[in-house]
Amino acid sequence: MKAGAGIAVGLAVALAAGGGYWLGQRPSVGLQQASSPVAAAPTDGAKKERKLLYYRNPMGLPDTSPTPKKDPMGMDYIPVYEGEADDAPAAAGTVKISTDKVQKLGVRTEAAELRSLDRTVRAAGRVEIDERRSFAISPKFEGYVEHLHVNVTGQPVAKGQPLFEVYSPELVSAQREYAIAAQGVEALKDAGSEAQSGMKQLAESSLLRLRNWDISEEQIRALAKSGNTKRTLTFRSPVAGIVTEKKALQGMRFMPGEALYQVADLSSVWVVADVFEQDIGQVRSGSLAKVRINAYPDKVFEGKVSYVYPTLNAETRTVPVRVELANPGLLLKPAMFAQLELPVGGRQQVVTVPNSAVIDSGTRQIVLVAHGEGRFEPRDVKLGGRSENHVEVLQGVQAGEQVVVAANFLIDAESNLKTALDSFGHAEHSSAKPATAPASIGHRTEGTVDGLDPKENSVTLSHDPVPSLKWPAMTMDFKLANPALQQALKPGARVSFEFVERQPGEWVITAVKPAGAAPTTAKAHAGH
């Protein structure tokens, strides 16, 4: 048994020695295999190292450098690495807004398109009498009104209808002179030529005098035939129309040239409308026009532009435009208010954007061009004609480019704030602290929801003081930038919100959250 045990021990030692020898020969291979990942790690790490592309201007100017440098203010240029180039400003003035803020602001974009810019010029006007169809009855001699046949203003009269009768001593004298001269010509038929010639001249002079006083040919023939003078003379209407003015009174004395009656033919009238200065260049004589009258809302009267006046009203900055309209049934009364519609349009297609895409400061017009991923570029544009919903862009935007049509005023505010921050070198600090919240574009405070109006997309809040505006605590109405914000606003709820001034007196909430979270975070930091 001892011999067997010794043999077993010997075999174990031999095997151990052989295994040790074999293992002694394997380390080089094993180490190579084990060391491969270790050696590869630096290789992979080297591949993951960021590649430096260039250095950009710290003020956001479109200036880059392949090597480190300083700007004129002594600020270091900011390195831009591969993968970060998109974060650098594409051009001066470009603003980048986070996707969630874009959604909160309710930003919408549309493409600039080529279209024929059809539009309608609208102007307020009034119905006026056609000046060519208005007549005044004015005796050319002195006399007295003996009898009135038409004694009411507004009375319709027919052409040739008697209006009034007058007596004049001069008229009676002129009739007698003509009657005597006419009888003398008849009596001197057989007399010498000189006598006949003199009497004819006298008769013609008397006849011309009567005609100059607007005595009708019928009355002159009756006077020459009978030789009997008439005490009164009848004046008749020269046109069928309406008596628009009557100054004649029974028994009154009148002087030569005094207008006793005015008669107007209203079968055709004018509509004179005041077209604004910026629209007058598109109005042409002969253009079709539609006229609407408040008294007849179911009727549309059609006519043509007959004349564009050459003068401008300096107070209203408008130019009168005249439209001629037929007036069957005399529905159109002088001095009625009218609404004029003039369809005008361009024959060729032009680059257009929606009217809401233009931010007009009074001195410049700006359109925000969207470059994707929350980047927006403000561009100065030169505008042309306008339609109901679109405006022509002569310079600054190309067809197909996406422009902001909603919430552009908020983006413009963000852009202005970013420019101000960059001018003080704050852009570096904001990039060095990515965890910090983006710069606010408005004012912040807390308040209690008093009421919510979903239809008007507005809310009434009793808010705390607003330090940035130096406002005291008060209750006021706010608009909501996005209807989705209504979900966080419940009557009686205490909320923390951010708001901006969209236009003078109009305040818009751009972000809202429950008021409990922020104070808790502030206390935790204060404890440190």
* 3-state class (DSSP) for residue 385: strand
Q: What is the mean pLDDT of the chain?
A: 77
pLDDT of residue 345: 66
> What is the DSSP code string of 25-84?
HSHHHHHHHHHHHHHHHHHHHHHHSPPEEEEE-TT--S-EESS--B-TTSPBPEEEETT-
pLDDT tens readout for residues 471-503: 888 899 999 888 888 888 889 899 999 888 877
Confidence of residue 418 (pLDDT cuts 50, 70, 90): low
pLDDT of residue 24: 42
pTM of the model: 0.48
Q: Could you tell me if 164 and 260 are in contact, meaning their C-beta atoms sit under 8 angstroms apart?
A: yes
Integer Cα distance of 510 and 501 in angstroms: 10
Rounded to the nearest 10°, the torsion over CA 223, 226, 229, 232 is -70
pLDDT of residue 19: 44
CA angle 156–161–165, rounded 5-degree value = 115
Q: Could you tell me if 57 and 63 are in contact, meaning their C-beta atoms sit under 8 angstroms apart?
A: yes
Integer Cα distance of 345 and 227 in angstroms: 70
Range among 193-207, 283-297, 413-427 with highest mean pLDDT value:
283-297
CB proximity list for 519: less than 8 A, separation 6 or greater:
none
More confident residue, 159 or 116: 159
Q: Could you tell me if 391 and 442 are in contact, meaning their C-beta atoms sit under 8 angstroms apart?
A: no
Range of lowest pLDDT (204-213, 279-288, 473-482): 204-213
**Residue 148 in this model has a pLDDT that exceeds 90:** yes
Rounded to the nearest 10°, the torsion over CA 142, 148, 149, 151 is 120
Q: Could you tell me if 175 and 210 are in contact, meaning their C-beta atoms sit under 8 angstroms apart?
A: yes
pLDDT of residue 60: 55
| Amino acid identity, position 14 | A
Q: Tokens standing for 471?
A: 């406002």
Backbone angles phi, psi at 50, to 5 degrees: -70, 140
Q: Do 131-264 and 442-527 fold alike per CATH?
A: yes
Long-range contact list for 470-473, CB < 8 A, 24+ apart?
none
Mean pLDDT, range 505-524, rounded to an integer: 65
Q: Looking at domain 131-264, which CATH architecture does it have?
A: Beta Barrel (2.40)
CB proximity list for 234: less than 8 A, separation 6 or greater:
162, 164, 165
pLDDT tens readout for residues 26-62: 443 333 333 333 334 444 444 457 778 778 776 555 5
More confident residue, 79 or 186: 79
Between 3.40.50.300, 3.40.50.1100, 3.90.76.10, 2.40.50.320, what CATH number should domain 442-527 receive?
A: 2.40.50.320
Tell me the pairing of strands 474-480 and 506-514: parallel
Number of H helices, E strands in the chain: 9, 30
* 3-state class (DSSP) for residue 469: coil
Range of lowest pLDDT (153-162, 201-210, 388-397): 201-210
| Amino acid identity, position 435 | A
Q: Tokens standing for 29?
A: 């291979």
Question: Crossing angle of helices 169-187/217-226, nearest 10°?
Answer: 50
CATH code of the domain occupying 97-117+348-430? 2.40.420.20
pLDDT tens readout for residues 337-380: 999 998 876 667 888 999 888 888 777 888 888 887 778 888 88
Integer Cα distance of 495 and 479 in angstroms: 15
For 60, other C-beta atoms within 10 Å of its C-beta total: 21
Domain boundaries, the chain: 2-44, 97-117+348-430, 131-264, 442-527
**Residue 270 in this model has a pLDDT that exceeds 70:** yes
Q: Tokens standing for 233?
A: 């003379």
